[in-house]
Structure 1
Amino acid sequence: MNAPVRILTVADSDSYVKWGAALLERAPADWEKSLLVLATPVLPSAEQLNAALVGIDPQFAQPSIVDLSALAVRIASMQPDVVMLSVRGPLVKVVFRAVLGAAARRPVIMTGLPGISIPANRRAIAYRMQADLFVLHSRREIREFAGLAEVMGVEQRFGLATLPFLPHKNPSQGQDGDVIFAAQAKVPWERTDRLALLSWLAESARRHPYRRVVVKVRAARGEQQTHAERHDYADLIGDLDRPAPHNLVIAGGAMADHLAGAAALVTISSTAAIEAIALDMPVLIVDDFGVSTRLINTVFEDSGLFGNSGDVVEGRFKHPDPAWLADNYFHAVEHDDWVSGLEQLLVLREAGQLAVKKQKQGAFGGILRRAWDRKRALGRFDRSWTGSLALAVGTPARWVFMAARRLRRMLLPST
């Protein structure tokens, strides 16, 4: 009898823990599954970790937290067949190298993105180009990323997976349920825009005193998250023109808990909108700040979900166009092919035909560059002297390189 496939997921920030654990749970039942959290500057707090793992198999409820050296020791002892790198882009190649260096036999390495990934991003591909399988969550994402990879000259295999944390039960909801605003660290970015958004939510709460308007944040003050947040809503609430109504609240915790029994969801572009749609909950995508790549909301074009500040205040929420759903995250689950993709790669591995792809971008500099990558990704959790040396040498060199590149761009139009 063949031994079961051993799959290890390595995660870092709260959103990647949530995604990686949920996707790991979807792997075949007869596979041996393990989850580790890598210590990095965005290490989730205990509260964030608990929220990320709500509803996940109890065997993953208390994952070990390891540094890169300890991860290498675990790889050497476990000898996994598959390693899922559920980590931020700059960390992928760092962990990839550590895994290959520690494994007696090269495992299949998969990676992916934890939420809405439209539009396709060059850096997302560049960071992950050595992975054997890149998991995405809609037909549209596969098309756009595959097309961009071809333009970049990157050979990449993509796998389709239904967003693993989508809820499956329709909660009891009604008009009096909470309205949830899914906050994001980077969108909108400017303080004035975030304050305006908070003022619209406050006015909606005043006009509908029978329900709560909940600003659901990803991190409490002092906690880390995937993207740094410059203007915290908890700080801004005291700067409103009028005192905040009692039924406008700011809360953390698991999104699934907030959606249970909620009446509607409001956001700029959060993946929480997809979770709400799965529950047949009305949604409002606020477009007062525009529709653009920077706002990460172009994916909702033609969805029928866009609305403005007046809709926020009046509580006018929407349901998506059915034609949009099939191409965006709501394909039939039988079209998922990420597991079969892994199985094909495991066959190649058995045959000794699974080559390590070359890192085409961001590889110049040899050992010093690798130490630089590690120090930049791990920060204080990289205690190596080579990392400190690379940072000391590389930081001014990078400034010179960036200045030269900017100068070249300025001069090019006139030549």
Structure 2
Amino acid sequence: MIPTPRIVAVADTDSYVKWAAALLGPVPGAELIVLETELVVSPAQQEAALAGSGLERVRRATFAELPGLLAGAEAVLLAARGPLVRVLARLVSRLDPPPVILTGLPGISIPATWLALHFRRQCDLFILHSRREVAEFSDLAVARGIRQRFALATLPFARTGAPIARKGTDLVFAAQALVPRGYEARLEVARLLVRAAEEHPDRRVVLKLRGRPGEAETHREQFPYPELLASLGPLPPNLDTSTASMRDALRTAEGLVTVSSTAAIEAAAQGVPVIALDSFGVHPSLINVVFEGSGLLAGADDVIARRFRTPDPQWIGDNYFHDPAEDDWLDRVRELVARRRAGMLPGRRAHARVGGRARDAWERRLALGTADQTVAGSLAYAVGVPARAVVRTTRRWRNRLRRRVA
């Protein structure tokens, strides 16, 4: 067997740090660099994200420190949002010798999206977590003319362990920043949690949050649930909030409720039943189409009555619960590293763009946020923000004129 290469991951936000650590935890000698960006995890979030992963080699670093820290890596896993992956891939591709560039998504990735592929064009291997994801991303890549390799890895949070002892009584709601998105819908969820707590005053309803107030998350939350709950007046004493790890929250759970969080898969893997809330419909914008046919979709009445579900056996094989023997990502990495060493795997060029170094500085500033302290980044941002506003305004007026003419 080809020996396992030195793999180093670079991640910044809570969900990507958790994913990278869990994916690489079983890999001998793997390392994780937590990159300082505007959305980087706090020390408390980092501790929760690493809990139970088994990954020991972890450090925080700035963008300027990356070339030195990545020197000698044979494969680099870019575990970050698309715009940051694009910037990091350019940096990693310039290392000598250049490592194999890996990337992936930290949770449910159905439906496949063009932007997820576009930002990761320069990566050599895209890691996905179900047969369905591999099939849909492969089809989309062909349709969009994007060359990419895909590999399968069991979703780290779905690795089947010993089922959690069914002594829990908590209804755990896994909050998401992006879904549902609107104020009224999120207020409806807040009211549902209150009703669920009032219906069973002897059992807790736990609002599971990804971070404490002021801590950054992968996605910005416009209407936080704690604020919405506070607007409803006095709350039932058995309605609590928690920022503990999902692993800990599930230990005392009777069941988990979410719209489309990957926590549903994590719970099901541990034998905790689930409700995927469909009160707002089933739609790609809600990231819940993957649950069609799962038997997990249910409405508000089922939440209040605590009628939790287990996944349909006919659904699980193609959706995150395939046989781990089908996982091929690490074998693919070994193969690509061997080809790179032999000079048989040329690096991929960055996607052609207009703007040269100024464009690079602009994209780096957007990806790193205030963590980018370079003069070039500051200048690009000062010029680029108003220029982008003009371009967007022009496009809006042009589209309006086209609609009127049509």
Q: Which amino acid aligns with 1:117?
A: S
1:323 positional shift: 1.1
Per the TM alignment, residue 401 of structure 1 is displaced from its structure 2 partner at its CA by: 2.7
Could you tell me which of 185, 189, 214 is aligned with 1:222?
214
Q: Letter of the aligned partner of 2:282 in structure 1?
A: V
Secondary structure of the corresponding residue to residue 165 of structure 1: helix
The C-alpha deviation readout for 1:286-332, integer Å capped at 9, x for no partner, is 11111111111111111111111111111111112111111100000
Measure, in 2, the Cα distance between the counterparts of 1:397 and 1:366: 16
Which segment is superposed worse, 4-13 or 142-151? 4-13
RMSD: 1.8
Query: Aligned ranges for residues 24-173 of structure 1 at < 5 Å?
Result: 24-27=24-27, 29=28, 32-57=29-54, 59-60=56-57, 63-76=58-71, 79-101=72-94, 103-166=95-158, 168-173=161-166
Runs of 5+ unmatched residues, structure 1 = none
Letter of the structure 2 residue corresponding to residue 185 of structure 1:
A
Map of 1:180 onto structure 2: 172
1:4 to 1:292, Cα distance in 2 relative to 1, 3 A: closer
SS across alignment from 1:48: helix
User: What is the rounded CA distance, in whole Å, between the counterparts of 1:70 and 1:313 in structure 2?
Assistant: 51
Paired position in structure 2 for 1:14: 14
Q: CA deviation at 1:220?
A: 1.1
Q: 2:390 pairs with 363, 385, 400, which one? A: 400
Point out the more displaced range, 398-407 or 257-266.
Answer: 398-407
Cα deviation for residue 410 of structure 1 reads 3.8
**CA positional deviation for 1:275:** 0.6
Distance in 2 between the 1:358 and 1:296 partners? 31
Are residue 326 (structure 1) and residue 326 (structure 2) matched? no
Greater shift, 15-24 or 309-318, is seen at 309-318
Residue identity over aligned pairs, in percent, reads 46
Please list, as runs of the form range in 1=range in 2, the aligned pairs for 1:300-379 lying within 5 A after superposition. Answer: 300-360=291-351, 363-379=353-369
Cα distance in structure 1, aligned partners of 2:123 and 2:289:
27
Whether the 8 Å CA contact 1:47–1:253 is kept in 2: the answer is no
What stretches of structure 2 of length at least 5 have no aligned partner?
none
Native 8 Å contact 2:30 2:55 kept in 1: no
1:406 Cα offset (Å): 3.3
C-alpha displacement of 1:99: 1.9
**Contact between 2:9 and 2:31, CA under 8 Å: does it hold in 1?**
yes
Counterpart of 2:89 in 1: which secondary structure? Answer: helix
Distance 1:3 1:290 in 2: 48
2:393 partner SS: helix
Return the alpha-carbon distance in structure 1 between the equivalents of residues 359 and 375 of structure 2: 14
Structure 2: distance between partners of 1:138 and 1:110: 17
Partner of 2:185 in structure 1?
193
Asked if the contact 1:68/1:98 (under 8 Å) is kept, the reply is: no
Q: CA deviation at 1:368?
A: 0.8
Is the Cα contact below 8 Å between 2:172 and 2:256 reproduced in 1? yes
- Checking the alignment, whether the CA contact within 8 Å between 2:24 and 2:55 is kept in structure 1 is no
Measure the CA separation in 2 of the matches of 1:403 and 1:365. Answer: 20
How far is the alpha carbon of 1:109 from its aligned partner?
0.6
1:237 positional shift: 1.6
Q: How far apart, in 1, do the equivalents of 2:306 and 2:35 lie?
A: 41
In structure 2, what residue type is equivalent to 1:41? E
Amino acid at match of 1:18: K
Please give the secondary structure, in 2, of the residue aligned with 1:398. Answer: helix
Q: Supply the distance in 2 between the matched residues of 1:344 and 1:169 (Cα, whole angstroms).
A: 33
SS of alignment partner, residue 64 of structure 1: strand
Q: SS state of the match for residue 78, structure 2?
A: strand
Give the Cα separation in 1 of the matches to 2:395 and 2:336. 40
The yes-or-no answer on 1:257 pairing with 2:252 is no
Equivalent AA in structure 2 for residue 52 of structure 1: A
Tell me, in whole angstroms, the C-alpha distance in 2 between the residues paired with 1:64 and 1:403: 42
Q: Which moved more, 1:15-24 or 1:228-237?
A: 228-237
